[in-house]
Structure 1
Amino acid sequence: MSIKVAVIQATPVFFDREKTLQKLESLVAEQAGQGVRLVVFPESFIPGYPRGFTFGATIGRRTDTGRDLYKTYWQQSMEAGGEDLARLEKIAGRYGVWLVVGITERDPVNGSLYCTSVYVSPSEGLLGKHRKIKPTGVERLVWAEGGADSLKAFMTEIGTLGGLICWENYMPLARMAMYRQGVEIYIAPTADSRPTWTATMQHIACEGRCYVLGCNQFFRVEDYPAAYREGIADSTEDIICRGGSVIVSPQGEILAGPLWDQEGVLVADLDLDEVIKSKLDFDVIGHYTRDDLFQLTITTPS
């Protein structure tokens, strides 16, 4: 079975949920018209990854200005339910595509924010979501940690979809939690635009014997509204996120990308038979395991 997929390296309309959703739909419509069946968007595409922001926080001190900025970020974030999710479900259904979208998720019960990937089917709507289990560095200031229930893969008619977000992909046990669910199309939205990220994507493809779709934003200082530019930590360079999106085969071969220093779309046809063929000599959850020596236990709430 061959599946045409698209990795979207785009710039969100920063801190504007509605306009970013409009841009997302336009991009999905364009790719659906080309026969794409799975469309992937970057980490925190809605409402934008807050690169360089301090939210007025240092050790032992927070500012009222920082709290006001956090309030704006919170208000423009999405709930993984309600009207915002319904919009994504309608887009998926209207264009007949599966969507994986990086959002900053606002929890309506506890009020916390999470870095989340939502998986949406054109026929079933929301399949589920993955919340980042360990926000990286200062991300922990604004994003809470996801739990074990977030380590999910989703069986669909286009293959088993799953993955991790950004530096979760450097957590070996988290990767193994995805592999052992038989993930065939491993989705890795990120904000890491270093050249070394490409090697990480290739390693995961070889290790998991799966296709890997690495997806990042392209972002310049000028893409921030003027009100947000002052004091941005990365503003010494015009381009503050170069992108580097890439699509990799189960043998670690680059099929498309990496794409640098521009918005764009990577497209590839994924033959799922290649996943099976690649397991002849290595299968991390099959004949190459040593369950008599190693065990992975995932702690879930009682």
Structure 2
Amino acid sequence: MLVKVAVVQASPVFFDIQQTLDKLEACVATSAEQGCQFILFPESFIPGYPRKFTFGAKVGIRTDAGRELYLKYWQNSLQIPSSELIRIEQIARDYNVYLAVGVTERDALHGSLYCTLIYVSPTEGYLGKHQKIKPTGVERLVWGEGSGKDSLRVFDTSLGRIGGLICWENYMPLARMSIYQQFPHIYLAPTADARPTWPATLQHIACEGRCYVLGCNQFVERSDYPADYQPFLDEDEIVVSAGGSAIVSPQGEFLAGPLWDEEGILIAELDMDNVLKSKLDFDVVGHYTRPDLFAFNVSKVQDNG
């Protein structure tokens, strides 16, 4: 089976969920016109990855201005369920595509935020989500640790088995193994890491998991930040996130990208037979294991399907 996929490297409209949804739909329309069946958006595309934001916090100190900024970020984050999620479901139906979208998810009851990847089907609507289980560094100021319940999972779709992890979760070997155990054909790795070393991580996952890997990052320039937020940036900073999105084969070869220093949509046609062919000489959860020596178990807090 051949599956045409797209990876969107773009900046959202910062801290504005409605305008960001407009941009998301425009990117989906462009990709669908080229025959894409699955489209991936970056980490926290809605309402924007809060790179360089301090939210007025220092050790032992929080400011009123920082709390106001958190409130605005919270108000423009995605609630599940919500009218905004219904719109994303409608976009998937209208263009007949599967979507995976990186969002900041808000908990309407408790007020917490989480870094989340949502999955949406053109026929079934919202399928489920993965919450980042370990926010990195200062991300922990605004994002809580995600629940493992129903989160570390791979979704069985008409295009194949699709799942993955967010950003530096992919540096957690046991988290990767929890995904590999569910036999993904397409592994998603949305990120905010724009270092030149990141594409090698995508290649490693592809070779290790013997699956297609879609890496997706935002391209962000200083001008993408509203004027009120530009003081958070360094004075001479023009490019805030250079991107580095890519699509990688099960043998670790780049099929598209890495894309640097510009917005763009990467497209590739994936031959699903190559997933099986690549397992001739390596299968991380099959013939290349030693269960007599090593045991791996995931805490039974999620449904592995």
- Do the structures match in fold with TM over 0.5? yes
Structure 2 equivalent of residue 37 of structure 1 = 37
Letter of the structure 1 residue corresponding to residue 71 of structure 2? K
Within a 5 Å distance, the mapping from 1:45-60 to structure 2 comes to: 45-60=45-60
For residues 54 and 280 of structure 1, what CA distance do their matches in structure 2 show?
49
Aligned counterpart, 1:282: 282
Match of 1:242 in 2: 242
The aligned amino acid for 1:207 is E
TM-aligned CA deviation for residue 187 of structure 1? 0.5
Residue 158 (structure 1) aligns with: 159
* 1:116 paired residue number: 116
Query: Is the 8 Å Cα contact of residues 8 and 215 (structure 1) preserved in structure 2?
Result: yes
The letter for the 2-side match of 1:245 is S
Q: TM-score, normalised by structure 2?
A: 0.97
One-letter amino acid matched to 2:288: Y
What letter corresponds to residue 265 of structure 1 in structure 2? I
Unaligned ranges ≥5, structure 1: none
Q: What one-letter code is carried by the residue in structure 2 that aligns with 1:262?
A: E
1:261 pairs with 2:256: no
Distance (whole Å) between structure 2 residues aligned to residue 115 and residue 228 of structure 1? 21
Q: 1:296 to 1:234 in 2, by over 3 A?
A: farther
Q: Residues 235 and 168 from structure 1, CA distance in 2 versus in 1: closer, same or farther, beyond 3 angstroms?
A: farther
What is the aligned partner in structure 2 of residue 78 from structure 1?
78
* CA apart distance, 1:295: 1.8
**1:51 offset after TM fit, Å?**
0.3
1:176-255 paired onto structure 2 within 5 Å: 176-230=177-231, 232-255=232-255
Q: Distance in 1 between matches of 2:110 and 2:143?
A: 12
Deviation string, structure 1 residues 78-100 (Cα, Å, up to 9, x no partner): 11212111111000011000000
Q: Secondary structure at the match of 2:161?
A: strand
Q: Provide the rounded CA distance (Å) in 1 between the counterparts of 2:266 and 2:203.
A: 16
- 1:119-176 Cα distance to aligned partner (Å, 9 max, x none): 0000001111000000000000000011222101100010100000000000000000
Instruction: Determine the C-alpha separation between the residues in 2 that align with 1:125 and 1:115.
Output: 20
User: SS in structure 1 opposite 2:246?
Assistant: strand
Letter in 1 for 2:167: C
Instruction: State the Cα distance separating 1:301 from its structure 2 match.
Output: 4.8
Q: Corresponding residue for 2:23?
A: 23
Cα shift at 1:234: 4.5
Equivalent position amino acid for 1:204 in 2: I
For residues 218-240 of structure 1, the C-alpha deviation after alignment (integer angstroms, 9 at most, x for no partner) is: 0011111101111x144532001
Aligned residues with identical type, % of pairs: 64
Alignment of 1:74-153 (within 5 A): 74-149=74-149, 150-153=151-154
Which amino acid letter does the alignment assign opposite residue 220 of structure 1? E
For 1:173, the equivalent position in structure 2 comes to 174
CA distance in 2, matches of 1:110, 1:247: 37
CA distance in 1 between counterparts of 2:80 and 2:207 reads 32
* Cα distance in structure 2, aligned partners of 1:87 and 1:39: 16
User: Residue 104 of structure 2 contacts residue 114 of structure 2 at CA under 8 Å; is this kept in 1?
Assistant: yes
The question of whether the paired residues in 1 share the 8 Å contact of 2:131 and 2:148 is answered with no
Residue 38 (structure 2) pairs with residue 13 (structure 1) = no
- Aligned pairs, number: 301
- Where 1:114 maps in the other structure, the secondary structure is strand
Shift of 1:59: 0.7
Q: 1:235 to 1:47 in 2, by over 3 A?
A: farther
Normalised to the residue count of structure 1, the TM-score between the two structures is: 0.98
Letter in 1 for 2:21: L
- Counterparts of 2:301 and 2:244 in 1: how far apart (Å)? 37
CA distance in 2, matches of 1:137, 1:93: 37
Residues 41 and 227 of structure 1: is their aligned pair in 2 closer, same or farther, counting only changes over 3 Å? same
Letter in 2 for 1:299: S
Partner Cα separation in structure 2 for residue 249 and residue 191 of structure 1 = 21
